[in-house]
Structure 1
Amino acid sequence: MYKNLAAAFAAACLFSLSPSTSAQPLKAGFVYVTPITEAGWTRQHEEGRKAVDKALGASVKTTFVENVPEGADAERVIRDLAREGHTIIFTPSFGYMEPTLKVAQEFPDVKFESITGYKTAANVAVANARYYEGRYLAGVAAGRMTQSNLAGFVAGFPIPEVLQGINAFTLGMRSVNPRAQVKVVWLNTWFDPSKERDAAMALFNQNVDVIAFHTGSTAVMAAAQERGKMAVAYHSDMRKVAPDAQIIAVTHEWGAYYTARIKAVQQGQWQTGNVWGGVKEGMVRVGDFGPKVPKAVQAEVLAKQKDVASGKLHPFAGPITDNEGKLVVPAGQALSDAQILSMNYLVAGVQGKVIK
């Protein structure tokens, strides 16, 4: 499903990044769902945009629009960028998928990249990262560090990507600490620092001593720092916000992908398709350990990261049971990409339900 475009991505990364001979720079637009903050989802995509500028220099002109809500506003902003002559437009938010597809029909000569989307068109490619690989590895660290055997998880929406993360984190914890449990709070928003903080505080009041999250701000990390608890940073390294609380960070790296895709347009080699890269491709990594994490735990996690990259370790290898007692992955088997992408359950060890 992903092989053709993944191969093209890899090949594009090998091409020379010398400036284009075109007199006019290629215009590339980026649409961000939240403000650009010090760390988080949007910050990582902004770092990706900056990497494009550094790699391609005067041959490209990048622009961005931040804090664009999903829905009608997104459609308007994407259309405006197309009208302004942007040759390629990146839309990194799941809720931008449908607006991107709609605008793409109106501008067949413009290339669109729906980041975290899953629907393609002749001029719309999709890309995502295997965040669950990093989540599993962070779970190993959390499983080693917890004293209460109870972790918290502040979650945005119950889409497959988030469920993958919760489940992989739980499986990682329980791989080294079978008694570990993960308590989930759903927010039904990607970015609301006040709600994120309140959810974290509520979890800490329920004997949670390590917390993870899938939301857009640093509020959960700040709450952990304030309460003297431990936390897993997501999207970015967040030690500036939580120097004592952070035990590990799951970071996303978009610079190489964005640069390769823009270079493909410049060379007339862009094609639609799907990319789903992870630790192996350098799109996801764990590290940035905090001061509380023993060297032995750090070494264990980094060794397992190498095993994920090589294919030796699969986070969703059986046996796996859901939290209602149903066997979902038999021993000796592992989930396929299609099964991971359609995940709609929580695994054993998760306290919570999938909100329909």
Structure 2
Amino acid sequence: MNAIAKKTFTHTLKKLCTSTFIFSLSFALLPAAYGDDVVVGFIYVGSKGDYGYNQAHALGAAAVKAMPGVKVIEEENVPETIAVQNTMESMINLDGAKLIFPTSFGYFDPHILTVAPKYPDVTILHAGGLYQEGKHPLNAGSYFGYIDEAQYIAGIVAGGTSKSGKLGFIAAKPIPQVLRNINSFTLGAQSVNPKITTQVIFTGDWAMPVKEAEAANSLIDQGIDVITMHVDSPKVIIEICERRGIYSSGYHADQSELAPKGYLTGAEWNWPKVYTDFVTLLKDGKPFPHLLRGGIKEGLVKVSKYGPAVSAKTAALADAAKAKFMAGDMVIYKGELKDNKGNVVIPAGTALSQTDIQLESMDYLVAGVIGNTGS
């Protein structure tokens, strides 16, 4: 996820549907199958080799490249400005793209909403879950996943491995999606060790390697022995953890090669499935869902392989939680749940499903998290 205003994020997502795997009530109608020469474009806000957000999407693009009868074009380091409009139009007019995936959150409004109406025979699908039925162009759509499910499992692994009982979380901004990841990670860890704590440091933006390095060193100096994150590129953080001899848990993509000793696991996007599914629909001339949501069960997110430091007992606990998510039986947010200021945020007897709209506007940190949202 990239930079957004908390208010805009919350207001927009309150309009989403609430089924576990969400499809818009109506579907965009694609023309008859395009045949064997389908051109698909991918646009990234950063480097597609960043070991993070952009690399996760690029792995999806690589899966599409392997499909027969598909030509993939890619453009990286495209800012969330009119530059992305120019890139989309170039892909359409010069390369003949019929399907485009602009992957950065800030590409949607106003950029996709400006370009899509000009080219009704081109499908533009956006990562972020912002599509609103009846308001946005019929040839546009969006998709996103409940990656906090994977963070919950990563928390179990962290909680079962930590010797100090002190975890660290380096995050960009205190917006609902980020807070949900912090809280789910912490609740997963607390399911193993109720006394565990998570120290949070917010850097202020999605790609700030200097501040991320400072945050990692500060946390390690405080005796924290497992660090995870929600930033665009976890590379710097993972490498510092490995160099200083503590454990790390990744995000967006698999960073295990950066930390062969200390990498525990991670929360990953499974964009190859999402992108190949969409391209298959396009090639077959079938309608696509305007709004796609899902978690581990639906295959939109996954958990990284366990590292060598993860015990068999801890792996079994994590696998058991994963099995519950796959069966649709796992509830992360249930009462009584208090925030880290002592307020009851979910009353006793209440359980919130992953699709509950309350979770889309989360503005608190759960008990056991050290830090504040700034609000």
Q: Which residue of 1 aligns with 2:4?
A: none
RMSD: 2.2
Distance verdict in 2 for CA 1:198–1:5, change over 3 Å? same
Write the mapping of 1:227-266 to structure 2, written as runs, cut at 5 A.
227-266=244-283
Q: Give the counterpart of 1:115 among 119, 127, 146.
A: 127
| TM-score normalised over the length of structure 1 | 0.90
Question: 1:157 and 1:75 mapped to 2: Cα distance?
Answer: 26
Distance change in 2, residues 1:270/1:309 (3 Å) = same
- Alignment-mate amino acid for residue 107 of structure 2: Y
Tell me which amino acid in the other structure corresponds to 2:202. W
8 A contact 2:157–2:189 mirrored in 1? yes
Structure 2: distance between partners of 1:228 and 1:81: 46
Cα distance, 1:23 vs. partner?
Answer: 5.6
What does residue 72 of structure 1 align with? 82
Match status 1:93 vs 2:104: yes
SS across alignment from 1:50: helix
Deviations 1:262-304 (A, max 9, x none): 2222222233521111110122222411111111111110111
Q: Which runs of 5+ in 1 are unaligned?
A: 9-19
Counterpart Cα distance in 1 of 2:171 and 2:160 = 22
Q: Is the partner of 1:176 in helix, strand or coil?
A: coil
Match of 2:64 in 1: 52
Cα offset, 1:206, TM superposition? 1.9
The percentage of counterpart residues that share the same residue type is 34
C-alpha contact (below 8 Å) 1:318/1:329 kept by paired residues: yes
- Compute the displacement of 1:94 (Å): 1.7
2:38 and 2:262 map into 1 onto residues whose CA distance is 43
Q: State the Cα distance separating 1:335 from its structure 2 match.
A: 2.2
CA 4–203 in structure 1, closer or farther in 2 if over 3 Å, else same:
closer
In the other structure, the counterpart of 1:130 is: 146
For the residues of structure 1 that align with 2:88 and 2:361, how far apart are their CA atoms?
A: 28
Q: State the alpha-carbon separation in 1 of the partners of residues 277 and 284 from structure 2.
A: 10
Q: Which residue of 2 aligns with 1:146?
A: 162
Conserved in 2, the CA contact under 8 Å of 1:2 and 1:273?
Answer: no
- How many Å separate the matches in 2 of 1:319 and 1:93? 36
Residue 221 of structure 2 is aligned to residue 221 of structure 1: no
Corresponding residue SS for 1:308: helix
1:31 to 25, 43, 52: 43
Q: Which residue of 1 aligns with 2:174?
A: 158
Give the aligned length: 343
Deviation at 1:63, TM superposition (A): 0.8
**Where does structure 1 differ by over 6 angstroms across 4 or more consecutive aligned residues?**
none
Q: Could you list the runs of 5+ residues in structure 2 that have no partner in the other structure?
A: 1-16, 25-31
Alignment of 1:249-328 (within 5 A): 249-328=266-345
Q: TM-score, normalised by structure 2?
A: 0.85
Quickly say closer, same or farther: Cα 1:283–1:21, change in 2 above 3 A: closer
Indicate the larger mover: 164-173 or 86-95: 86-95
Whole-angstrom distance in 1 between the partners of 2:247 and 2:20? 41
Seen in structure 2, the aligned counterparts of structure 1 residues 210 and 109 have a Cα distance that, compared at 3 Å, is: same
Tell me whether 1:82 sits opposite 2:92 in the alignment. yes
- Secondary structure of 1:81's match? helix
Match of 1:348 in 2: 367
1:62 and 2:72 correspond: yes
Alignment CA distance shift 1:134-1:177 (3 Å): same
Aligned partners of 1:233, 1:116: CA distance in 2, in Å? 20
* 8 Å CA contact 1:140, 1:173 repeated in 2: yes
Whether 1:210 aligns to 2:226 is yes
1:339 aligns with 2:339: no
Which 10-residue stretch deviates more, 108-117 or 26-35? 108-117
